Amino acid sequence: MYPYFYGMGPEFLILIPAILFAMYAQAKVKGTFNKYLKIQNRTGYTGAQIARMILDRNGLNDVRIEHIRGSLTDHYDPRTKVLRLSTPVYNGRSVASAGVAAHEVGHAIQHATGYFPLILRNNIAPVANFGARFVWILVFAGFFFNSVLIQVGILLYLAVVAFQVVTLPVEFNASSRALDQLEDGIIAREEIAPAKKVLNAAALTYVAATLVGIAQLIRLVLLSNRRD
């Protein structure tokens, strides 16, 4: 019995719909972001300026904004209270830049207000990272040595799925906060709908990651049953 044969067996079919949806979600977010990256917001504010405005109006003067390389690499680091914006967002004056910048500030506001799902996600993160790194090593070893190792791998992977599930309300809430802030005079009213499209497209990627995680968990359980 070889794990690789099992890994590519009928259990793999469970992953296919989730993977296809994940591919669609990635294409959707890139296409939507690039579309609205070409449309300048009427106020002319850059993403960095918008982020600073929202942070300051919420009393988060201690949160720094940094420029990072890449595209769609924007994130908020709660450990250092640093908001990192990619080049198209940091320097951009587009509707897409406004939406992404405001979304990341939404995470900073969550952190400052003690938003519980964010706290829960941050606490799960170390275990989830460990599980994602070692699950297949344990599964592989379990096929050759002891099936208990597969069960341990599944338990660790549960933390990965839990992280992805908890991420959904965190991301949706950050987008909701972003739109509330943008509606308060930062961009024109008619630009809110396009900004929302950008954020909704980004949200699809998190939904897709969750579906892939759940499908992978089911696959692991089926592999474990076959080994037994």
Is residue 104 within 8 A of residue 65, CB to CB? The reply is: no
Q: Which residues are catalytic?
A: 104
| Best CA proximity match to 186, nearest among 57, 2, 32 | 57
Contact 37, 88 (CB under 8 A): yes
Predicted confidence at residue 58, as pLDDT, reads 96
Q: How far apart are CA 185 and CA 164, in angstroms?
A: 33
pLDDT per residue as tens digits for the range 23-46: 999 999 999 999 999 999 999 999
Q: What is the pLDDT of residues 166-204, one digit of tens each?
A: 999 999 999 999 999 999 989 999 999 999 999 999 999
Tokens 């198209």 appear where?
88
d(CA 207, CA 195): 19
Q: How many CA atoms are closer than 13 Å to the CA of 25, on its beta-carbon side?
A: 19
Instruction: Report pLDDT digits (tens) over 67-86.
Output: 999 989 999 999 999 999 99
The whole-chain average pLDDT of the chain stands at 90
68-104: b (≥16 Cβ within 10 Å) or e = eeeebebebebeeeebbbbebbbebbbbbbbbbbbbb
Dihedral over alpha carbons 119, 115, 96, 203 (to 10 degrees)? 70
